[in-house]
Chain A
Amino acid sequence: MRGPRLLNGHVVLSADDIRRAIRRIAHEIVERNRGLEGLVLVGMRTRGVPLAQRLAAAIQEFEGAAVPVGTLDIGLYRDDIASLELRPHIQPTELPGDIDGKRVVLVDDVLYTGRSIRAALDALTDFGRPASIQLAVLVDRGHRELPIRPDYVGKNIPTSLHEEVEVCLEEADGRDEVRLVRGEGER
Chain B
Amino acid sequence: MSRERLSPEPASGGPVAPAIETKPRAGWTRSHLLDLDDFTPGEMETVMETAGAMKEVLGREVPRVPALRGKTIITLFYEASTRTRASFELAGKALGADVINVAAGGSSVEKGESLIDTVRTLQAVGADVLIMRHPSSGAPYLVTRHVECSVINAGDGWHAHPTQALLDVYTMRAHLGELRGRRVVIVGDIAHSRVARSNIWGLAAAGAEVVLCAPPTLLPAGMRPGEPGPEEPLALPRVEVETNIERAIAGADVVMALRLQKERMQSGLLPSIREYATLYQVTEQRLALARPGALVMHPGPMNEGVEISPAVARSLQSVVDEQVANGVAVRMAVLYLMARGKLS
Binding site for B on A (CB under 8 A): 2-3, 6, 46-47, 49-50, 73, 75-78, 80-94, 108-113, 115-116, 122-123, 126-127, 141, 164-168, 170-175, 181, 183
Contact = CB atoms under 8 A, between A and B. Distances in A.
A122 B67 CA distance: 11
A94 B53 CA distance: 10
Contacts of B268: none
Contacts of A168: 7
Contacts of A166: 4-5, 7
Contacts of A181: 5
Chain A CB count within 10 A is highest, among B1, B8, B49, B57, for: B1
A165 B53 contact: no
Contacts of A89: 25, 49
A174 B315 CA distance: 47
Given A89-B49, A109-B2, A2 B8 contact: yes
10 contacts: A76-B57, A81-B340, A82-B340, A88-B336, A90-B49, A90-B336, A165-B2, A172-B19, A174-B15, A175-B10
Contacts of B3: 110, 112, 141, 164-165, 183
Contacts of A174: 7, 9-10, 14-18
Chain A CB count within 10 A is highest, among B2, B14, B18, for: B2
Contact of A173 (B22, B55, B64, B66): B22
A111 B2 contact: yes
B22 A172 contact: yes
Contacts, number: 130
Contact-residue bracket for chain B:
35 or more
Contact of A88 (B1, B6, B7, B337): B337
Contacts of A167: 2, 4
Nearest to B2: A110
Contacts of A173: 6-7, 10, 18, 22
Contacts of A47: 2, 4
Contacts of A73: 53
B27 A86 contact: yes
The B interface, classified by DSSP as helix, strand, loop or mixed, is: loop
Nearest to B57: A76
Contact of B52 (A75, A91, A170): A91
A94 B49 CA distance: 15
A87 B7 contact: no
Given A46-B22, A92-B53, A173-B18, A76 B1 contact: no
B19 A171 contact: yes
Nearest to B15: A174
Interface in B219-266: none
B316 interface: no
A61 B8 CA distance: 32
Nearest to A128: B61
Contacts of B9: 174
B16 A170 contact: yes
A113 B2 CA distance: 8
Interface string B50-66: 10111111001010111
B66 A122 contact: yes
A2 B6 CA distance: 9
A87 B24 CA distance: 8
B20 interface: yes
Nearest to A169: B20
B55 A50 contact: no
A82 B333 CA distance: 16
B144 interface: no
Given A109-B2, A173-B6, A173-B10, A88 B22 contact: no
A110 B4 CA distance: 8
Contacts of A6: 8
B325 to A, nearest CB: 16
A115 B18 CA distance: 27
Contacts of B118: none
Contacts of B54: 90
Contact of A90 (B5, B8, B50): B50
A115 B57 CA distance: 21
A174 B60 CA distance: 34
Chain B CB count within 10 A is highest, among A108, A127, A174, A183, for: A174
A165 B7 CA distance: 11
A92 B52 contact: yes
Given A47-B4, A92-B56, A166-B4, A76 B67 contact: yes
B343 A81 contact: yes
Nearest to B18: A172
A21 B147 CA distance: 54
Contacts of A123: 65
B240 to A, nearest CB: 35
